[in-house]
Amino acid sequence: MALDVIGRAVPKRDGAEKVTGRTRYLHDLALPRMAHGKILRARHPHARIVRIDTARAAALPGVLAVLTGADAPPHRFGFVRDQPALKAGVVRCVRDEVAAVAAERADIAEEALALIEVEYAELPAVFDPLEALRPGAPLVHEDRPGNLTDLRYQFGHGDVEGALAEAAVVVDGEFRLNFVTPACLGTMVAVADWDADGRLTMWSTTQVPFLYQRDLAHALGIGGDRVRVIQPPVGGNFGRGLDLYPIDVIAALLARRARRPVKIEFERVEEFVACPTREPCRIRLRTAAAADGRLLARDCHVVIDNGAYVSWGSTTPYVMLATVAGLYRVPAVRFDTTIAYTNNPYSGSMRGYGNLESTFAVESQMDEVADRLGLDRLELRRRNATRPGDANPQGFTITSCAMGACLEAVAEDVRGALPAPAPGWRRGVGYAGMFHVAGGARIYRSDGCGAIVRLDDFGKVSLVTGATEIGQGSETVLAMIVAETLGVPLERVEVVNSDTAVKPWDVGVHASRTTFIAGNAARLAAEKLRARLLEMASEELEAPAEALAVRDGWVFVRETPARRIPYDRAARAGHLREGGQTLVAEAFYDPPTAMLDKDLRGNVSAAYGFAAQAVVLDVEAATGVIRVRRVVSAHDVGRALNPPAAEGQIHGGIHMGLGYALSERLVVEEGQVLTASFMDYAVLKAADMPELRVRFVESVDAEGPFGAKGLGESGVIPVSAAVANAVHDAIGVRFRELPITPAAVHAALAAREAA
Amino acid sequence: MALDVIGRAVPKRDGAEKVTGRTRYLHDLALPRMAHGKILRARHPHARIVRIDTARAAALPGVLAVLTGADAPPHRFGFVRDQPALKAGVVRCVRDEVAAVAAERADIAEEALALIEVEYAELPAVFDPLEALRPGAPLVHEDRPGNLTDLRYQFGHGDVEGALAEAAVVVDGEFRLNFVTPACLGTMVAVADWDADGRLTMWSTTQVPFLYQRDLAHALGIGGDRVRVIQPPVGGNFGRGLDLYPIDVIAALLARRARRPVKIEFERVEEFVACPTREPCRIRLRTAAAADGRLLARDCHVVIDNGAYVSWGSTTPYVMLATVAGLYRVPAVRFDTTIAYTNNPYSGSMRGYGNLESTFAVESQMDEVADRLGLDRLELRRRNATRPGDANPQGFTITSCAMGACLEAVAEDVRGALPAPAPGWRRGVGYAGMFHVAGGARIYRSDGCGAIVRLDDFGKVSLVTGATEIGQGSETVLAMIVAETLGVPLERVEVVNSDTAVKPWDVGVHASRTTFIAGNAARLAAEKLRARLLEMASEELEAPAEALAVRDGWVFVRETPARRIPYDRAARAGHLREGGQTLVAEAFYDPPTAMLDKDLRGNVSAAYGFAAQAVVLDVEAATGVIRVRRVVSAHDVGRALNPPAAEGQIHGGIHMGLGYALSERLVVEEGQVLTASFMDYAVLKAADMPELRVRFVESVDAEGPFGAKGLGESGVIPVSAAVANAVHDAIGVRFRELPITPAAVHAALAAREAA
């Protein structure tokens, strides 16, 4: 099939607006009569609220509403509905919201917060999940003896004990992952507006608008049909928008009380405290292999620091398991979890969602196995690589798969001249592979997306998609899919995607699913529309619709292509007449997948993505400084629909992965968030970035739109493992905790020296 | 058919927001970086621009852009594309735009206007259409010898001359209609915003968004696919939004030049000058009747004061003809027009659109005929009343028709106690009938409207309609149609209608067409969706879809209604599963009508509306003051879908009609608009309104949605004729010019006294 639009390098549609500063983010939204809300948070990570007095705040001129836990509706929300929007009685982490104010201006609201008097009685607190499990540990929730959440992920397949006993080598280690935060340049914002009939419009940074609609309605005690969600452009999200948060509920409550639209916008310091993080965890992993390198078993136990409330972040073992069971062929797998409440801030979803953590463990041990067996590290991976047709222990059905080709591509691209390391620096090369869902992820009963395509008299095509754009480029790629399917010029296609009142249903943007799922929905709707367009043109061209095709804006007779008319003329001819018709078509795509059952078996995705990375870095022994020189990243993306955009996703992922590996850490001590600015939180700057070599291996997936598979997360996932492996290659030290900071390297080298 | 929602009294959806001051009109819109535009207009009605110097204005701090005719694109626009957005060389009326400024604030833009130096050389001007036709008259357009427009409406049917010769009575008169203006409480506004890729978003008071999109794009020299039109709530329109105007083009030009969003908002005085008016005209009419009152012929010639440019207002004879040929049975008709340029401001479309003017003439002569023949005035109308199955001289096919019943209802309702007129006052009763399109009006090749209906997991139904809400209540009635068709509670239906990027095509709101056309589209889409909902429910209810029905929110088995599930549960069950589906359906309705051919024959509407009114009023002979005591209005509306909203339309129409009859006049002298405020322009206040008695006669139209026909204009149309007839009944004076002011009455009585 010759493709006209797909595979072309197309600038992202939001690009020009963003780089010229013209994008109107939610931060820029101002509604008539809009008030400004601010939230007062807990002073202590665990305390009883003895007294709260809002009288002085309420009396401040310009204050429109003051709310405390006593005013909030009784409906709890969150992943297991364990938190109210405003806390009464007890606070369980420093993020806890104890009061909120709406005022004419943000500075008045801020001033009012300072006038709210809260008297606390501190309670003993617990900040470590294993300590939380000890008998006698302080209880985060009084009704939760032992501090255990209800979540547990247990999986078993094959004879793990036998494999461990018989293996030529068993490597064993515990990996520790700390708090990181998405550090979105656009902080969280919520704007709430009730109409006179009690209908609520929310402008939100959510990335799951329909789940948000459902959850917010529940939290407010109203029907989901009374909530409309509008999603202006966001400055980053990366999973942050997967849960409903108190900011959203509080904005709605303040607006209801003040009878005015209310906007709550986090300042940077508040974003560090209140934005959900990647969850901290400890992964105990054992990997068993035969003498020829064949993997025999993995045995894994994950301990999650759940923080004070359960969120989507608490469910990351769901994905960790998929990696433990699915990254390379492994016949026997055991997996278990401990997810314990602490008085730390709770986490959320963040790009890669558990897979960075487990890939860090799994791929670190791949190197350890190779080293112990005296095998080449890439060769070990080749021997265990997943192949098309595999079914993994969970029952995931592998269709298109180019894992082997990715490993070859990385081996090839990592070569090539680099300046030799400076004196005192040692060079290392590290590898890591990646396995992730790439055709949706059926974690909800529907994994579908709807699309409506309309072609007007001007030849403009509107795609109204359920999909959510959070900067990943979905608008652009969906427009390309429609343009290709319809055979019309790309610039005639417009994408509408930000209003739940008009867009069809979609789960939301997560799990690298948008190109695949929303892309298929758009393609199906466009195919229906194309059929109707050809019917319309049939009369003009005096040929049956079956004999017609449309390409590059022309409807033509296949056999005699000179018999042609512009597609928009065909549309007008069909419309602007007595008994005319217009061109609107809709479709819904729900992938052919199966949710995991209670034993965590199923086939959650209609396609799976594979990748391999190599990292070349230099380590200065004297200082522990690590300088990454090159990252090579080869990805089985099915087909790269918009290659530079796909590459941009990988670049962004590598940037985030390198930060995770080397520099980023949200410092939380005794439950307090100490990181307060980008001076403290070391996101890598452009100048810190190494040479990047990205390669796409096109396996052309049979189910994906034009063969594409998802890739939004695949760049970030293997980076930290490849970095750790490269550091080990350079200096012989195995790091099992991130980030690998100069101080950590220096200390490890000093310790080895001392030993 | 039992109806659950249709026919119920449902409050208008925008009502609560509007009366509590919460509606966000276009006036309230503020975009980040938005600049404010102002327009400099011609000082003289006809002049050459000798010099225009914008240097001082451009130098004023805060000024962002200054444009004159030299900067405007060459594309002319308007009904016959005879005007540029900014005039260069010659100005032809005082509305003419000679320069425009965008500035940081509106007051700066206003100040800048005062700094623009324009030197004019005045040209001889012409303000009367008949004078404009005289040889040697000043030419409004140099390329238009004789000042004639290209428009002429000529129609002939039957033997008019023969009828005139044989008639028992022929009445003859000339009727004069003056400038009136819609006097919308919300003035005209345009906000233009270009994105970085050259796509334009317009927030507009237009009521024909897709035609506006086309015309604005043409005026700017860009493709229609590059324009998106958003229609926030408007404070009245009444036809004002049927043309594209310079305000729209200038806002877009300023925004393009300033590289900022630009808002132009008329102040009240500017609204009086620049808002299109109802066109002034003279109607020469002759009516011939037999001795028994049977009408034999009408002969009509209309002279239109076209003003300086051609607009939709210039085409009103199209509708005048329909009245002359169609209001009552009349076998022979002759109709001709003269439409001449003058240096007056040009008109536009206004509610009733020619029909007020021609009904004023036709119904005045009905009374004259009755009086001359000594027949009862109502009886004369009864004898000539149109009946179902009639085809009129133009070929209009009359289907449902309750004209006779309307006359009876008026005869009945006009009775009843009223305090006797005070001493010195004389009472009169006047009647008038009405004939108007009520099932669309095919004046454009498509008279269709599209609809998309979506039912979500929350049981919320969204109707995305092409229709435009301008306060007439279409959102409410379309929601009712969808709720009734789907069998779901009305409050679960939301209507989305204000963005051309998402809504399907529609001609726009005019010609009382929305309930009929958009209502049928909504009904068709809802029927499709209902069929799919029943299929979904079929599995749950273990019965074939054909055996199911849905009503009041329940899907049930027809034979055993206790077997039922809530409709939203059926939708969720069909969606939240592997291989799920969602409910979206679309439809397009184009009525079975035929455009008028070159001989003005055809069948423009799928249904026609009929009404009769009676006015009871008292006239004080000494002062000429008229006090209207009662207006009775009986309407064949097919079916009143939302009776109080329908009644509200009639009330509003009577209010506007009484203003037209008695008090409203935009004073234009020597081309200058002298009316500058509501102190000068006498819109009737609530306290001025008489008792209103509205009756709906339900003829249940076979094509209309649930039997409905359009009624948006029918209240206003007959009022002035009924008033004039009542005044004649009271004091024996026939007024053939509006408004019938106390001064006019007093002068007429004085003249009669003198004679």
Per residue in B739-751, pLDDT (tens digit) is: 999 999 999 999 9
Structural domain contains residue A133 = no
Distance (Å, whole) CA B301 – CA B174: 9
B580-594 mean pLDDT: 97
User: Can you list the alpha helix ranges (DSSP code H) found in A542-661?
Assistant: 567-575, 643-658
CB contact under 8 A, A452 and B577: no
pLDDT tens, residue by residue, A345-383:
999 999 999 999 999 999 999 999 999 999 999 999 999
| Selection from A338, A350, A335, A274 nearest residue A306 by Cα | A338
Same domain? B160 vs B67? no
Q: Which residues of A touch B214 (CB under 8 A)?
A: 457-458
Nearest CA to CA, how far is A557 from chain B (Å)?
26
- The SS3 assignment for B576 reads coil
B303-328 mean pLDDT: 96
Q: Which residues of B touch A504 (CB under 8 A)?
A: 454, 582, 584
Q: Which residues of B touch A453 (CB under 8 A)?
A: none
The yes-or-no verdict on residue A583 having pLDDT over 70 is: yes
Interface test with A, best of B194, B210, B582 (most A CBs within 10 A): B582
DSSP secondary structure of B631-676: EEEEEE-SS-SSHHHHHHHHHHHHHHHHHHHHT----EETTEE---
Q: Reduced to 3 DSSP states, what percent helix, strand and coil does chain A have, rounded to the nearest 5?
A: 30, 25, 45
Q: Which residues of A touch B22 (CB under 8 A)?
A: 33, 195-196
Q: Which residues of A touch B232 (CB under 8 A)?
A: none
Going by pLDDT thresholds of 50, 70 and 90, the confidence category of residue B337 is: very high
Structural domain contains residue A105 = yes
pLDDT tens, residue by residue, B104-129:
999 999 999 999 999 999 999 999 99
For residue B558, with 0-12 CB atoms within 10 Å meaning exposed, 13-18 middle and 19 or more buried, which class applies? exposed
Distance (Å, whole) CA A302 – CA A176: 10
Structural domain contains residue B390 = no
**Residue A383 carries which side chain, given as an amino acid letter?**
R
CB contact under 8 A, B452 and A448: no
CB contact under 8 A, A196 and B578: no
Q: Which residue of A has its CA nearest to B223?
A: A458
Q: Which residue of A has its CA nearest to B450?
A: A582
Number of folded domains that form chain A = 3
Dihedral, CA of residue A321, residue A326, residue A329 and residue A335, to nearest 10: 10
Distance (Å, whole) CA A703 – CA A709: 9
DSSP secondary structure of A328-381: S--SEEEEEEEEEE-SSPPB---TTTTHHHHHHHHHHHHHHHHHHHT--HHHHH
Going by pLDDT thresholds of 50, 70 and 90, the confidence category of residue A274 is: very high
Distance (Å, whole) CA A282 – CA A357: 9
Of the candidates A196, A581, A594, the beta carbon closest to that of B17 is on A196
B619-638 mean pLDDT: 97
Same domain? A395 vs A246? no
- Tell me the average pLDDT of chain A: 97
* Residue B656 vs residues B178, B182, B680, B717: alpha-carbon distances, Å: 15, 9, 16, 9
CATH of the domain at B210: 3.90.1170.50
Q: Say if CB B308 and CB B318 are below 8 A apart.
A: no
Q: Are strands B262-265 and B227-230 parallel, antiparallel or unpaired?
A: unpaired
Same domain? B294 vs B337? yes
The yes-or-no verdict on residue A1 having pLDDT over 80 is: no
Same domain? A261 vs A396? no
CB contact under 8 A, A30 and B28: no
Answer with the one of B563, B589, B615 that is the final residue of a domain.
B589
Q: Say if CB A735 and CB A174 are below 8 A apart.
A: no
Same domain? B629 vs B736? yes
How many C-alpha atoms does B415 have within 13 Å on its Cβ side? 4
Answer with the one of B251, B274, B297 that is the final residue of a domain.
B274
**Residue B94 carries which side chain, given as an amino acid letter?**
V
**pLDDT value for A416:** 87
DSSP assignment letter at A30 = -
Of the candidates A31, A452, A460, the beta carbon closest to that of B452 is on A452
Structural domain contains residue B395 = no
| Cross-strand partners of B608 | B437
Same domain? A372 vs A391? yes
Decide if the complex's ipTM is over 0.90: yes
Task: List Cβ neighbours of B679 (8 Å cut-off, separation of 6 or more).
Answer: none
**pLDDT value for B2:** 86
Q: Which residues of B touch A17 (CB under 8 A)?
A: 195-196
Q: Are strands B608-620 and B332-341 parallel, antiparallel or unpaired?
A: unpaired
Q: Which residues of A touch B31 (CB under 8 A)?
A: 24
Same domain? A345 vs A260? no
The yes-or-no verdict on residue A395 having pLDDT over 90 is: yes
A259 phi, psi to nearest 5 deg? 55, 40
Same domain? B650 vs B700? yes
Same domain? B317 vs B345? yes
Going by pLDDT thresholds of 50, 70 and 90, the confidence category of residue B416 is: confident
Task: List Cβ neighbours of A219 (8 Å cut-off, separation of 6 or more).
Answer: A73, A75, A76, A77, A85, A244, A248, A249
Same domain? A317 vs A378? yes
Q: Say if CB B605 and CB B705 are below 8 A apart.
A: no
Same domain? B83 vs B165? no
Question: B621 lies in which domain range?
Answer: 400-433+607-755
Structural domain contains residue A380 = yes
Structural domain contains residue A543 = yes
| Residue B748 C-alpha from the chain's centroid | 33
Structural domain contains residue B190 = yes
Instruction: Number of A to B CB contacts under 8 A, please give it.
Output: 162
pLDDT tens, residue by residue, B603-620:
999 999 999 999 999 999
A421-450 mean pLDDT: 97
**pLDDT value for B665:** 97
Answer with the one of B558, B589, B620 that is the final residue of a domain.
B589
**pLDDT value for A2:** 86
**pLDDT value for A622:** 95
Interface test with B, best of A458, A464, A535, A596 (most B CBs within 10 A): A458
Q: Which residue of A has its CA nearest to B260?
A: A22
CATH of the domain at B642: 3.30.365.10
Same domain? A407 vs A480? no
CB contact under 8 A, A210 and B457: yes
pLDDT tens, residue by residue, B26-39:
999 999 999 999 99
For residue B484, with 0-12 CB atoms within 10 Å meaning exposed, 13-18 middle and 19 or more buried, which class applies? buried
Structural domain contains residue A179 = no
| Selection from A464, A440, A717 nearest residue A605 by Cα | A440
How many C-alpha atoms does A631 have within 13 Å on its Cβ side? 32
Distance (Å, whole) CA A20 – CA A1: 38
- The SS3 assignment for B14 reads coil
For residue B674, with 0-12 CB atoms within 10 Å meaning exposed, 13-18 middle and 19 or more buried, which class applies? exposed
pLDDT tens, residue by residue, A592-605:
999 999 999 999 99
CB contact under 8 A, A22 and B210: no
**pLDDT value for B755:** 87
**pLDDT value for B1:** 62
